[in-house]
Amino acid sequence: MTESIKKYFKVGTIHFMSYPQTMKGEGPIAETLMKILCDDYFDAVELTWIKSDEVRSQVKNMLDESGITVCYGAQPRLLTTGLNPNAAEEADRAKAEATLMEALDEAEYLGAKGIAFLAGKYDEEKKEHHYNQLLKTTKNLCKYAATKGMNVEIEVFDYDVDKKSLIGPAPLAARFAAEIRECHNNFGLLIDLSHIPQTHETSRFVIQTLKPYITHLHFGSAVLGDPSMEAFGDTHPRFNFANSVNSVNDLANFLQCLKDENMFYRKDPMVLSFEVKPWKDENPELVLANTKRVLNRAWALVD
C-alpha cells in the first residue's frame, strides 16, 4: 500500500504485553506508559487494571494530555487470578463477572469506550453448560456497558494449545457473537493473528467467518509444534523468534485479507495493536522497534 496505514487503522500496542511487569496492575505503569504516549507511531494504547488509585489518576491525566485512543484489556483480571466467566459453578462465574464489571468502571474512568476479555477453560463434557454460562456473563456485561455508552468484546483464543479457552475456533465464535448480537448491539469480537495458527485456521477463513462481528485487531506471533521449544504456546514472542510461526508475509496476508473483505474503514478505523511480549530479558524498546519494522514492511506488501 502506498497510502499511510493511519488512513485505515489506529495503530496501537498493548501496554501490559509490551511491558509485562505491569500485567498484574502494579509495577512501573506510568513510567513505561509515558514511552508509548510520547511515540507518535501509536494512535492507540491498550491498558489493563491499575491497583493504585494514585497511579490510576496519574495515568488518566497522561492519557488525557496525549490525545491517544484508549482501549482496556480485562484479560489479565482473569488470567492472573484464575477467574472464569464461563465457570460451571454459578458462584465462580459470578466472581468473574464482578471483576469484569469493575473493569468497565475503570475503563470508563480512563477514557476507554469498552473492554475486551476472554472466555475461560471448559470441560468438554459440560461444554454447552459452559457456553450458556458465558452467554449469561456477556449479556450482563453488555447490558451494564450500554448504560455507559460502552462496548464489550471477546478475544478469540486457542481451545486446545495453551489458554484452552471456550471461544474459538472461528465457527463457534461466530455462533456466540450472533446470539449476543440478537439482543445487544454493543458486542464484538477481537481477533489476533497470533491466535489463528493456534486454532488451526487461516487468516482468510477467520476473517470471512467472523467479518460481521470483528471490531478490534491484534497481531503477533507464536511458537508451535514441539512443546519443549522455548516460548511454546500463547507467549507472544517477537517476530523472527526461533521456531515462531508468523512472519512479515503472514502479517501482510492478514492485512490483505482484511482489505479484500472491505474492512479498511477510513471513516471509523479499527484499532490494530501489537501483541508482542519481550521474552525473558529482552529489551522492550527493541522488541517494539522490531514490530514497527515488521508492520511497515507488511503494509508495503499489501496490494
Residue among 291, 284, 272, 271 nearest 112 (CA): 271
Q: What is the pLDDT of residue 234?
A: 95
Q: Which helix (H) or strand (E) holds 210?
A: helix 203-210
* Bridge partners, 271 (sequence order): 10
Residue among 50, 147, 126 nearest 84 (CA): 126
Rounded-to-integer distance, Cα 80 and Cα 97, Å = 15
Cis peptide before 225 (omega within 30 of 0): no
5-301 folds as: TIM Barrel (3.20.20)
Tell me the pTM: 0.96
> Other CB atoms closer than 10 Å to residue 157's CB: what's the count?
25
Q: What is the pLDDT of residue 33?
A: 98
Q: What is the pLDDT of residue 274?
A: 97
Residue 112: CA count within 13 A, CB half-sphere: 26
Place of cell 482489505: 259
Give residues with Cβ within 8 angstroms of 175, minimum separation 6: none
Rounded-to-integer distance, Cα 53 and Cα 198, Å = 37
Q: What is the pLDDT of residue 59?
A: 98
Rounded-to-integer distance, Cα 129 and Cα 135, Å = 10
Q: Which mean pLDDT values do the consecutive 10-residue runs of the chain (303 residues) have?
A: 96 98 98 98 98 98 98 98 98 98 98 98 97 98 98 97 96 98 98 97 98 98 95 96 96 98 97 97 98 98 97
Rounded to the nearest 10°, the torsion over CA 196, 199, 204, 209 is: -120
